[in-house]
Amino acid sequence: MSEPRPRSAAAAPPAEDDAALLARAVVALQRHAEPLQQLGALFSEAGQELYLVGGSVRDALLGRLGTDLDFTTDARPDAVQRILRPWADGMWDTGIEFGTVGAARQGHRVEITTFRADTYDQVSRNPEVRFGERLDDDLVRRDFTVNAMAVRIDPAAPGGVGEFVDPLGGLAALRARVLDTPAAPEVSFGDDPLRMLRAARFVSQLEFTVAPRVRAAIERMAPELGRITAERIAAELDKLLLGADPVAGIDLMVESGMGEQVLPEIGAMRMAIDEHHQHKDVYQHSLTVLRQAIDLEDGVPDLVLRWAALLHDIGKPATRRHEPGGGVSFHHHEVVGAKMARKRLRALKYSKQMVDDVSQLVYLHLRFHGYGDGRWTDSAVRRYVTDAGPLLNQLHRLVRADCTTRNKRRAARLQANYDDLEQRIAELAAKEDLQRVRPDLDGNEIMRLLDIPAGPQVGRAWNHLKELRMERGPLSREEAEAELLKWWNAEGGSTV
């Protein structure tokens, strides 16, 4: 396969670094030679152009191209559907109003979009969709120059890869690892304010920086994010948090003013610290906890854990109290923080499960500090496990990540105490089903023994037996029945 050919007579020959990037792209594209050649032949036979474009080209140059491929074409959407139909195992048209047709075949997913030359009203982020006639017009309307490169798909070329198209300097920007806009950033962000938040996402995902003019435009235009729906913002925040360096993305978001629009609680943790009331900078502490939580993952990014690490201390500003003698307290910040996390995630339209999981981790993250040097009873350990439920492993990681003290002896003691707690959990789990601490009698047995119908009384009896199970561990059937009858008689009930 030949190297993609740069299309610019005026451009100087690629520097050695550029040559290395292009060679890396060739290697990445070779892995997709079959679908590229097949699609190139189909579009060529139909008299249409086809280009690999945007993030797919960028990722090929970075050596991180996956099996999802993005293309652009001069063919209109109905023609794209006709061309793809004999090739695809399946097709979808959810984006067809914006000119996008999707298809899948043998593990590859492709999205092919007709050249666009949209106009925006600068009020909403919805464009007036207008199909274009030229590739260059399509590229100049994209978010960043590193996403405004294309590779012509040519069935006559080795591997189906033809010329490399870079009219806006995307390769140079990629080599410098800088995000810049094809047009003036004010125009680009005015067209679609979500691009500002996307910049923070790419800082996290790609570990790039933003060009000074882009940073300046974001600082001026951050309030424009108010035009974007909560769902779209949440999708970008998730991608940012799941990136390689989410701390850098969050810091750009907060320092540029975007955070005030989408996650104001994070910037609010940058609390002033005076010389008489010393405490950690809560914002920087939270970023450190996020970084340490990521280090504790098992190789698979954990979105719930990352959100919980970022939000675990958002209740501190609201609960800060200056104590006599120069101390600072944050009593019940975990309770306040859990409520704040729930409110913010709901506003961002997250699922009930996501809201419940993250807020529960925030609520529980401080409980371990009552463990001391192993002074918890078995009952307290059971409650810890039961309250964490399926979040127990994430709670383990969050609590360990929350240790950011520079005092090595204190840090070692905290980790040793948590080692001890995990050992006690393991020992109890070997004897009991700690993940499902339930009463020793179920609802049907309670109704039979007490001769009562289903209703609130059964629920109260069930809760009483569960509390006993927490306090004393598993009971024999005889013990459980005796305790149930004892409780029932004390409640004024009768089995006669």
pLDDT in tens, 59-79: 999 999 999 999 999 999 999
Average of per-residue pLDDT values in the chain: 87
pLDDT band at 377 (very low <50, low <70, confident <90, very high): confident
As a whole number, mean pLDDT of residues 288-308 equals 96
pLDDT at residue 66 in the model: 93
Percent of the chain scored above 70 by pLDDT?
89
| pLDDT the model gives residue 204 | 97
> What is the reported pLDDT for 337?
95
Nearby residues of 180 by Cβ (< 8 Å), 6 or more positions away = 144, 145, 173, 210, 211, 213, 214
Instruction: Say what the pLDDT of residue 118 is.
Output: 61
> Which single residue is written with the structure tokens 């003290």?
405
Instruction: State in Å, rounded, how far the first CA of the chain is from the last one.
Output: 89
φ, ψ of residue 280 in degrees (nearest 5) = -65, 150
Residue 386 pLDDT > 80 = yes
Q: What is the separation of C-alpha 467 from the centre of its chain, rounded to a whole number of angstroms?
A: 37
In CATH terms, the superfamily for domain 5-176 is: Beta Polymerase, domain 2 (3.30.460.10)
- If residue 361 lies in a helix (H) or strand (E), which one and from where to where? helix 352-364
pLDDT above 90 (res 349): yes
Range with lowest mean pLDDT among 48-52, 260-264, 355-359, 455-459:
455-459
Over 70: is that where the pLDDT of 7 sits?
Answer: no
User: Would you state the pLDDT for residue 115?
Assistant: 93
pLDDT at residue number 428 = 81
Q: How many helices (H) and strands (E) does the chain have?
A: 24, 12
Q: How many CB atoms lie within 10 A of CB 210?
A: 23
Question: Mean per-residue pLDDT for 84-93?
Answer: 95
> Residue 314: which pLDDT band, with cuts at 50, 70 and 90?
very high
Confidence at 124, pLDDT banded by 50, 70, 90: low
Selection from 60, 130, 138 nearest residue 98 by Cα: 130
Q: What residue segments make up the domains of the chain, in order of their start?
A: 5-176, 301-437, 438-490
In 3D, which of 156, 137, 149 has the Cα closest to residue 70?
149
| Residue-level length of the chain | 496
What is the C-alpha separation between 155 and 114, in angstroms, rounded?
20
As a whole number, mean pLDDT of residues 24-51 equals 95
What percentage of residues in the chain have a pLDDT greater than 90? 61
- C-beta separation of 117 from 126 below 8 A: no
Segment 171-211, tens digit of pLDDT: 999 999 999 999 999 999 998 999 999 999 999 999 999 99
435, pLDDT greater than 60: no
In this structure, are residues 167 and 8 in contact, taking their beta carbons and an 8 Å threshold? Answer: yes
Predicted local confidence at residue 353, as pLDDT = 97
| Biggest CA-to-CA distance, the chain | 100
From start to end of 189-337, where are the E strands? Answer: 209-210, 321-322, 328-329
**Of the candidates 192, 187, 144, 151, the residue with the CA atom closest to the CA atom of residue 169:** 144
How much is the pLDDT for 436?
54
Is 335 or 378 the better-scoring residue by pLDDT? 335
Element containing residue 51 per DSSP (H, E): strand 50-53
Task: Return the pLDDT at 276.
Answer: 36
Please compute the mean of the pLDDT values over residues 43-66 and round it to a whole number: 96
pLDDT at 363: 96
